[in-house]
Amino acid sequence: MFSYIGRRASHSILSVIGLLTLVFFLTRLTGDPSALYLPLDATAEARSAFARLNGLDQPIPWQFAEYLKDLLHLDFGQSLRQNRSAIEVALQAFPETLKLALVAITLSTALAILVGSLAAARPGSLFDRIASLASLAGASAPDFWVAIVGILVFAVGLEVLPTSGTGTWAHWIMPIFVLMLRPFGLLVQVVRGTMLSALASPYIKTARAKGVRRQKIIFGHALRNSLLPVVTVAGDLATGLVNGAVVVETIFGWPGIGKLMIDSIIQRDFAVVQSTILVTATAIFILNIAIDLLYAFLDPRIRY
Partner 1 sequence: MTIISPDAEPAAAPGTSRVLLAYLRRDRLALAAAIFLALLVLAALLGPWLVGDAASRLGLRQRNLAPFSPDHAWIYFLGADTLGRPILARLVVGAQSTLGIAAAAVFSSMLIGGTLGLVAGYSERWYSHLILRLADVVMSFPSLLLALIVLYTLGPSITNLVIVLAITRMPIYLRTARAEVLELRERMFVSAARSMGAGPARIILRHIAPLVLPTLVTIAAIDFATVILSESALSFLGLGIQPPDFTWGAMVANGRGYLSTAWWIAFWPGLAIMLTTLSLNILSNWARTVADPQQRWRLQTLRKAAR
Partner 2 sequence: MKSSSVLAIASAVLMAAAASSAMAQAGQEIRIVLPEQPANLEPCGTIITNVGQILSQNVVEPLTVIDPATGQPRPKLATEWTQVDPVTWRLKLRDNVKFQDGSDFNAEAAVFSINRMTGGKITCSNNAKFGDAKLEVTAVDDLTVEIKSDKPQPILPTLLSVVMVVSPKTPEDKAVNDPVGTGPFKLSTFSPQTVVLDAFDGYWGQKPEFTKATYVWRPESSIRAAMVETGEADLTPSIAIQDASNPETDFAYLNSETTAIRIDTAQPPLDDLRVRKALNLAIDWEGLAQLFGDDVKRASQMVVPGINGHDDALEAWSYDPEEAKKLLEAAAADGVAVDTEIKLIGRNGIYPNGAEAMEAMMTMWQAVGLDVKLTMLDVADWLRYLQKPFPEERGANLLQMMHDNNKGDAAFTIPIFYRSSGNYATLADPALDKEIDAALAATGEDRTKSFKALFDKARKEVVADIPMFHMIGYTRVGPRLDWKPDITTNSEIPLANIRLKD
Partner 3 sequence: MKNAHDSIRKGEGPILKIEGLTVDFLSNDAPVRAVDNVSFQVNRGETLVILGESGSGKSVSTSTVMDLVDCPPGDIVGGSCLFDGIELSRLDPEGRRNINGRRIAMIFQDPLAYLNPVYTVGRQIAEVFESHDAAQGAQARANAIELLRRVGIPEPESRVDFYPHQFSGGQRQRVMIAMAIALKPDMLIADEPTTALDVSVQAQILDLLRDLQRETGMALVMITHDLEVAASMADRIIVMNGGKIVESGLAQKVFDNPQHPYTRRLIAALPHGEAAEASHRRSTDIRGETLLKVEHLTKEYVLASGAFAGKRRFRAVDDVSFDVRKGETLGIVGESGSGKSSIARILLRLNEPSSGKAFYAGENIFEMSGKRLVAFRRKVQMVFQDPYGSMNPRMNVRSIISEPWAIHRDLLARNRWKDRVAELLELVGLKPDHAERYPHQFSGGQRQRIAIARALASEPELIVCDEAVSALDVSIQAQVIDLLADLRTRLGLSYIFITHDLPIVRHFADRIMVMKQGKIVEEGPTSALFSAPQHDYTRSLLRAVPKPKWLMSTDAPSAAPGELRPERTRNGSMAG
Residue type, 250: T
> Cβ neighbours of residue 290 under 8 Å, at least 6 residues apart?
none
Residue closer to partner 3 by CB (options 63, 225) is 225
Residue closer to partner 3 by CB (options 6, 157) is 6
Residue closer to partner 1 by CB (options 49, 91) is 91
Which residues in this chain contact partner 1 in the complex, by CB under 8 A?
11-12, 14-16, 18-19, 22-23, 26-27, 29-31, 123-124, 129, 132-133, 136-137, 139-145, 148-149, 152, 156, 182, 185-186, 189, 193, 196-197, 200, 239, 243-244, 246-247, 250, 261-262, 265-266, 273, 277, 280-281, 284-285
Q: Does 26 bind partner 2 (CB under 8 A)?
A: no
CB of 274 vs partner 1, minimal distance in Å: 11
> What is the Cα gyration radius of the chain?
24
> Cβ neighbours of residue 104 under 8 Å, at least 6 residues apart?
176, 179, 180, 183, 241
> What one-character DSSP code corresponds to residue 156?
I
CB of 56 vs partner 2, minimal distance in Å: 11
Q: Which stretch binds partner 2 (CB under 8 A): 1-9, 18-26, 50-58, 228-236?
A: 50-58
Q: Residue 104 and residue 247: Cα distance in Å, rounded?
A: 14
Interface residue with partner 2 among 176, 234, 263, 275 (CB under 8 A) is 263
What are residue 78's DSSP bridge partners? Answer: 85
Q: Residue 12 and residue 185: Cα distance in Å, rounded?
A: 30
Residue closer to partner 3 by CB (options 74, 209) is 209
Which residues in this chain contact partner 3 in the complex, by CB under 8 A?
1-3, 200-203, 205-214, 216, 221, 224-225, 298-301, 303
Pick from partner 2, partner 3, partner 1, none: which does 221 bind, CB < 5 to 8 A by kind? partner 3
H or E, element range at 277? helix 270-298
Residue closer to partner 3 by CB (options 221, 268) is 221
* Nearest in space to 12 (alpha carbons), one of 263, 239, 301, 264: 239
Residue closer to partner 1 by CB (options 162, 244) is 244
Pick from partner 3, partner 1, partner 2, none: which does 208 bind, CB < 5 to 8 A by kind? partner 3
In the window 231-250, what residues touch partner 2 (CB under 8 A)? Answer: 250
41: helix, coil or strand?
coil
Question: What are the φ and ψ backbone dihedral angles of 140, each rounded to 5 degrees?
Answer: -100, -5
CB hemisphere CA count around 94 (13 angstroms): 18
91 touches 261 (CB < 8 A): no
Q: How many helices (H) and strands (E) does the chain have?
A: 14, 0
The four Cα atoms 47, 49, 55, 60 give a dihedral, to 10 degrees, of: 40
List residues near partner 2 by CB under 8 A.
Answer: 30-33, 35-43, 45-46, 49-50, 53-54, 81-84, 92-93, 96, 148, 151-152, 155-156, 159, 162-166, 250-251, 253, 255, 260, 263, 266-268
